[in-house]
Amino acid sequence: MAHSLLIVYEPLNILIDKRGYWEGYIDFYEKYWGGPTSPFGVWFGQEYETFRKVLSEHMGIDEEEIEDCFFMKDKEGYYITPLGSKAKSYILSSENYIPIEWFVPFRDEEREFFYTPWGFAGMHYDAKVNLGLKRLREADEIIRMAAEGRRKGWLPIFQRLDDIQVGIIELEKWLSGFDPSGYVLLNYGELSSFIHPYTLKNERSVKEIWDVLSLLEKGQIDKAQLTLNIMVEKWEDIRKKASGDVIKSTIQ
């Protein structure tokens, strides 16, 4: 079983209620580990328990009162994703694959392939929330306009587009609940381990879905259908490999 994540980071300066706590947490964490925490980090052995003990002493609180977060920063300041009981509202998780609509809020140039300090390959995209919402709305409109083609005859692509559009609308509602100046990040997470590093380095699903949408805009339905079919089959293959449904996958 492998999970991919869609994560929202909100500006620290808007989290008024616990801003002092999060500032103290971030300051300590950066000094303790020498950098920001993230969903790409890994705790080994008793590292987390030791960290919590030292943090509680530093901040003068009981260990039971500690709340964790992911955080990142840019030139404007810090952004955080509270964990624990609040994580469900900030994080969407998908098991063994990435839903097609999750690629829509991003552009190919926002892609980052990397190796962790432990030698594992990984992939993520990140974009400002306001840009992600704009792209979701743009994609929704393109699909709505393309659906007019049904009047000239039904094609198989429209069933898949219906499903993707439902996902886009749900994603837009979710993302609209956050500060537009925050970040949304797509983390391939544990799925990265089921794709060969060379293949992962050349993985371009964001470009592929926007190629589909561009073809739809141009009225090139057959080409859009072919491109989408290939993309869907790729992720179905990854899903089977990650879930153990097949012994050998065509993904190398």
Q: Which residues contact 238 (CB under 8 A, 6 or more apart)?
A: 96, 97, 191, 194, 195, 249, 251
Helix extents (H) in the chain = 19-33, 47-59, 87-90, 129-146, 157-175, 197-201, 205-217, 221-243
Confidence class for position 250, pLDDT limits 50, 70, 90: very low
In the chain, what is the greatest distance between 2 CA atoms, to the nearest angstrom?
A: 70
State both tokens at 127: 């974009």
Average pLDDT over the chain, rounded to an integer: 88
The mean per-residue pLDDT over the stretch 14-32 comes to 88
C-alpha distance from residue 164 to each of 35, 114, 180 (Å): 37, 28, 23
What pairing do the DSSP bridges indicate for beta strands 91-95 and 3-11?
A: antiparallel
pLDDT band at 42 (very low <50, low <70, confident <90, very high): low
pLDDT tens-place string over residues 161-196: 999 999 999 999 999 999 999 999 999 988 988 988
List the one residue out of 213, 103, 110, 212 whose CA is nearest residue 168.
103
* 118/164: higher pLDDT: 164
Nearest to 243 by CA among 54, 47, 1: 1
Q: Rounded to whole angstroms, how far apart are CA atoms 25 and 23?
A: 5
* Whole-number pLDDT of residue 43: 61
Is the pLDDT at 118 greater than 70? The verdict is: no
3-state secondary structure of 204: coil
> pTM (2 decimals)?
0.89
pLDDT at residue 63 greater than cutoff 80: yes
d(CA 190, CA 94): 11
Q: What confidence score (pLDDT) does residue 35 get?
A: 60
